[in-house]
Amino acid sequence: MEPVTLTTERLSLRTFTPADTDETYAACQDPDIQRWTTIPSPYARSDAEGFITRMVPDGWRYDTEYTFAVRPRDGGPLIAAASLHHPRSGAWEVGFWTAKEHRGSGYMTEIVLALARWAFTDLGCTRLEWRAEVGNTGSRAVVEKTGFTVEGTLRGALLNKSTLRDCWVGALLPSDLGLSSSQPYLPARDALG
């Protein structure tokens, strides 16, 4: 797929370009981003360059990951990164980080909602999943505000820094946002009568 640009009331989500390298490198020096995401730690400038020049374009080219740099709609600093990745059986997974100085402004909730609507309406996504290491309360707060249902804890299901870690898993369905799904859904409670 060719990269697309999405907009919200306050934000512009577009693919990363080489011009984003310095800000990406700087943002990823944050110990919380290194702790709670699977980016390399320590995070070198070459990691930012590889992410922007290889990983991001390859994800779009092979339809395996759609990654967005997020900035204010009228221009300004890099606020966040967000992606849809790991497509399987109609489901996608959302992942994200927010630059430290932009946390607490509701940006990520706005970003995740924009990605969810795009996934459900344009990608034929039937289920948007979220996973985060147990203890990542900031990430969990974002998805709960967005309308995800946290479904449980998966033991040893997240590989981060060469260590298997327990993770929370949650999901958002098109109907949670008042949208139609490309496939019918029969909840378990209905199946039991």
Residue 76 reports pLDDT greater than 60: yes
pLDDT tens per residue across span 30-49: 999 999 999 999 999 999 99
pLDDT tens per residue across span 146-175: 999 999 999 999 999 999 999 999 999 999
| pLDDT confidence of residue 186 | 86
Residue 15 tokens, joined: 């693919």
Helices (H) and strands (E) in the chain, counts: 7, 8
Cβ-contact 83, 39 below 8 angstroms: no
pTM above 0.75, yes or no: yes
Q: What is the pLDDT of the chain when averaged over all its residues?
A: 96
pLDDT tens per residue across span 115-145: 999 999 999 999 999 999 999 999 999 999 9
Q: What is the 3-state secondary structure (H, E, C) of 148-188?
A: CEEEEEEEEEEEECCEEEEEEEEEECHHHHCCCCCCCCCCH
Cβ-contact 168, 140 below 8 angstroms: yes
Domains of the chain: 6-126 (3.40.630.30)
Closest by Cα among 10, 13, 23, 39 to 101: 23
d(CA 144, CA 108): 12
| pLDDT confidence of residue 192 | 57
Phi, psi of 77, rounded to the nearest 5 degrees: -70, 160
Of the chain, the percentage scoring pLDDT greater than 90 comes to 92
Confidence of residue 114 (pLDDT cuts 50, 70, 90): very high
| pLDDT confidence of residue 91 | 96
| pLDDT confidence of residue 182 | 85
